[in-house]
Amino acid sequence: MVSERGLQVLRAIVQDYVDTNEPVGSKTIVDRHAFGVSAATIRNDMAMLEDEELIVAPHTSSGRIPTDKGYRVFVDHLATLRPLTPAQRAAISSFLDGPGDLDDLLVRTVRALTRLTGQVAIVQYPSFAQASLSHVELVQLGSGRMLIIIVTDTGRVSQRLAHVRVEFDGPDLQQLRGDVCEVVVGRSVREGAQLVDERLAAASGRGADAIAPREAAFLEILRGVAEELDEFRQDKLVLAGAANLARRESDFRGSIYPILEAIEEQVALLRLVSEMVADDQGLSASIGRENEPFGLGEASVVASEYDATGSLARVGVMGPTRMDYPTNLAAVRAVARYLTRMLHEDDTAR
C-alpha cells in the first residue's frame, strides 16, 4: 500500500522524468519539490515505491524512472488535469471552426490534436449503422460515369463513382434519382442496405438480355450505394502525426515498427481504442504493457469520448509511455468537447 507522501514522490518522479528524460534522484526531488523532509526520507519513500514495482533504476547507482505500473498509478491518482492555455484553445477553435462534412471535420480534428500534443492523433468514426439516409444525389459526369452522393442525418457525406452504359437527360436523371431515393432515403443505414441487397438479389436471377439499359443503370447505381453503405457500417480510424514517432524513437524501449504497422493496418489499434474503459468523465488511458494483447506494448494511448449526435466514439493520442499524461488528457478532453459541440450545432442547423 503506497502512502500519500509516496504518491506525491511518485508524482514528482513522473513529472520530472517526463520533463527531463533523465532518471530522478532523491536530491533532485528535495531541490525541486517542497516536501519539507530530508533526502534520506525521500530515499526511503523511493525504496517502497521500488518494492511496489512503481519505479526502477535503469542503471546501477542511477536515479529512478517510472515503470508502466507507476504510470498507471500516477494516472489513476491524477487530482486535476493541466488546463490548456488560451493559445491552445484558440488553436483548437481555428482548426475545427468552419463548414465541412464529417470526414473533413475528423481530418481537421487529428491535425489539431497532433499539433497540440506532438503525439500520433487518433479519432474513431462513430457507428453509422443506426443513422438515417437523408439525401441521395446523382451527378452525370459523362463517358458513362455517374457520381453518387449520399448524405446521412448525422452529417456524413460520401461519394462513390458508378459506371453506366447510358446517358440521361435532365428529367430522366431526376427520375432515376427518385427511384434510388425511394429505396433508401428516410431509412437507417442498416435497413437501406438490406433493401438494396434484396433489390439486387431479385435482379440477379435474370439474364443481362432481360434487363433494359435504364434498369441496368439503376442496378449499377444500387451496387454503388450498397458498397458505400457497407463502409458506413465498418469501424475505422483517422490518424495524423505518425512522423512524431520517429522523432521520439529514443523514448521507446524497443522497436517502433510494430507501432507503425498498427497505424498502417488499424485493426489492432481500432480494437484497443474500442475496448478502452472510460471513467465518469469519459476519459481513458491504456499504458505500455497493458497494450501487449494488441501488439502495442511499447505505447500508451489516452482518449476521450465524443458524442456524434447520439453515437459515442473516441478521440485520443498515442505515443511512448514517457508522455505528459495530464496535458494530453486535457487536450483530448477539450478536443472531444469541441467536436461534440460542432456536431450537435451542425445537427441543429439541419
pLDDT at residue number 212: 86
Confidence (pLDDT) at 126:
80
Q: Report all structural domains of the chain as residue ranges with CATH numbers, in order of start.
A: 4-76 (1.10.10.10), 86-127+235-349 (3.30.450.40), 133-232 (3.30.390.10)
Q: What is the strand order of the sheet 157-163 is part of?
A: 133-142, 145-152, 157-163
The Cβ-side half-sphere exposure at 61, using a 13 Å CA radius, reads 0
pLDDT digit string, tens, across residues 118-146: 999 999 988 766 678 999 999 999 888 99
pLDDT in tens, 280-305: 889 999 999 999 999 999 999 999 99
Give 205-208 contacts, CB < 8 A, sequence gap 24+. Answer: none
Q: Which has the closest alpha carbon to 9: 36, 19, 20?
A: 36
Residue 190: predicted pLDDT: 86
**Alpha carbon of 326 to those of 125, 288, 322: distances in Å?**
25, 17, 12
Which residues of the chain fall below pLDDT 50? 349
SS3 call for 169 = coil
Element (H, E) at 67: none
